[in-house]
Structure 1
Amino acid sequence: MNALDYFHARLEATVSPMDYLRLAQAEPEKYFLIDVRNGPEHVRSVTIKDAAIIPQQELHERLHEIPKDKEIIVYCWDVWCNTAVKVAAFLLERGYKVKELSGGIAAWKEMNFPVTDSSLDVEPSDTCGC
């Protein structure tokens, strides 16, 4: 593969946070965003607003939750995380149309785009440990 083919393939397989936000605002019914990060829930409490939360380790059991008629956008932690790439390959092998959100949740938060923080939903009395 030469450099030009590589960059065309990369553009076909990924979407930037800015482009995804613009596309999803224009045609929200066309996309299905999935947070595929693994790890404890308290570490994953901040998610992209309106993302479905289906950790990679639960994907096999929850595949029925992912619509085949939408473009699937998957994301994980950051550029160093390959969980979203693994999920994208898994879904592509099963006939889904999939792209990875470049930079994951880290890039999204860096841009100050909308997030949901589930840790804010916890009642103070639930966290006292007494």
Structure 2
Amino acid sequence: MNALDYFNARLQATLSPMDYLMSSKKNPETYFLIDVRNGPEKLRSIIIKGSTVIPQQELHTRLDEIPMDKEIIVYCWDVWCNTAAKVAKHLLEKGYTVKELTGGIAAWQEMNFPVSNTLEENNIEGDCGC
């Protein structure tokens, strides 16, 4: 693969946080954003506003929640995490249109883009879940 092929493939498979934010504001019905991070809920409590949380480990039992008629955008922790890439590959094999959000939640937060706190939204306090 030469450099041009590499960059073309990369642009087809990824979407930057800024590009996603602008595109989703113009055409919100086009996209379905999924947080695919694994790990303790407390560590995953900050999510990109408007995303659906489907951890990678639950994906096989929750495919029915993912619309086939939208462009699926998946994200994980950071550039060093490949969970979103694994999920994207799996969804592509199932016939979905998928891109990975570059930089994950870390890049999103670094840019001060809108986030939600799932623990606050679900009125979960402390470690007991009460």
Q: TM-score, normalised by structure 2?
A: 0.94
Q: CA deviation at 1:67?
A: 0.2
State the secondary structure of the residue aligned to 2:40.
coil
CA distance in 1, matches of 2:3, 2:122: 49
Q: CA deviation at 1:86?
A: 0.1
- Segments of 5+ residues of structure 2 without an aligned counterpart are none
State the secondary structure of the residue aligned to 2:74.
strand
For 1:58, the equivalent position in structure 2 comes to 58
CA distance in 2, matches of 1:122, 1:88: 28
Distance 1:122 1:52, change over 3 A: closer
State the secondary structure of the residue aligned to 1:79.
coil
For 2:108, the equivalent position in structure 1 comes to 108
For 1:14, the equivalent position in structure 2 comes to 14
CA distance in 2, matches of 1:26, 1:123: 32
Code of the residue aligned with 1:119 in structure 2: it is: L
CA distance in 1, matches of 2:50, 2:13: 22
Alignment of 1:1-130 (within 5 A): 1-121=1-121, 126-127=125-126
Code of the residue aligned with 1:5 in structure 2: it is: D
CA distance in 2, matches of 1:59, 1:22: 27
Q: CA deviation at 1:121?
A: 4.0
Work out the percentage of aligned pairs sharing the same amino acid. 68
Q: TM-score, normalised by structure 1?
A: 0.94
Distance 1:123 1:34, change over 3 A: closer
1:13-68 Cα offsets, whole Å, 9 max, x none, are: 00000000000000000000000000010000000001000000000000000000
CA distance in 2, matches of 1:82, 1:39: 14
Distance 1:28 1:3, change over 3 A: same
Distance 1:66 1:127, change over 3 A: same
Count of aligned positions: 128
CA distance in 2, matches of 1:96, 1:123: 34
